[in-house]
Amino acid sequence: MSQEKDRIVIPDEHGTEHLFDELFKFTVDETGKNYILVTPVGDSEDDDDDEEGEEVFAFRYEDRDDEENDIGLFPVETDEEWEMIEEMLNTFTSEEEEEDEEE
């Protein structure tokens, strides 16, 4: 049973828009910073059973007050942020695997 994921559009440096599935969002309580992890649409559909090769992108984000459901994305810049994101992704991945085994 697959659940519907939220999707977002992210333009590249040339202004070309790309569609991504949102894996999850989280906030770090100590810093108050928000992060989002996404995968390009199509990657998981091409190989449903093999999520090992799925490309994951991480961004720091801030909600924008001017538009509903609009967020500003910023690159992750420090090694500490990357380590924390990797830990969260590993936790998320292991929880997803447990849920799949229960079904």
Residue 19: its H or E element: strand 17-27
82 within a domain of the structure (yes/no): yes
Domain assignment present for residue 2? The answer is no
User: For residue 71, what pLDDT band results from cuts at 50, 70 and 90?
Assistant: confident
Condensed to tens digits (0 to 9), the pLDDT of residues 11-57 reads 989 999 999 999 999 999 999 999 999 999 975 444 444 445 689 99
Residue recorded with tokens 């828009």: 17
CA-to-CA dists, residue 38 to 10, 51, 65, 90, 103, angstroms: 10, 13, 22, 14, 24
Higher-pLDDT residue of 29 and 70 is 29
Greater model confidence, 58 or 52? 58
pLDDT at 100: 76
Read off the pLDDT band of 67 (50, 70, 90). low
Which pLDDT score, from 0 to 100, does residue 45 have? 47
Q: Is residue 1 part of a domain?
A: no
Q: Is residue 38 a part of any domain in this protein?
A: yes
Extract the tokens encoding 70: 């609009």
Q: Is residue 75 part of a domain?
A: yes
- Domain count along the chain: 1
pLDDT for residue 23: 93
Q: How far apart are CA 50 and CA 44, in angstroms?
A: 8
* Domain of 86, in residue numbers: 7-102
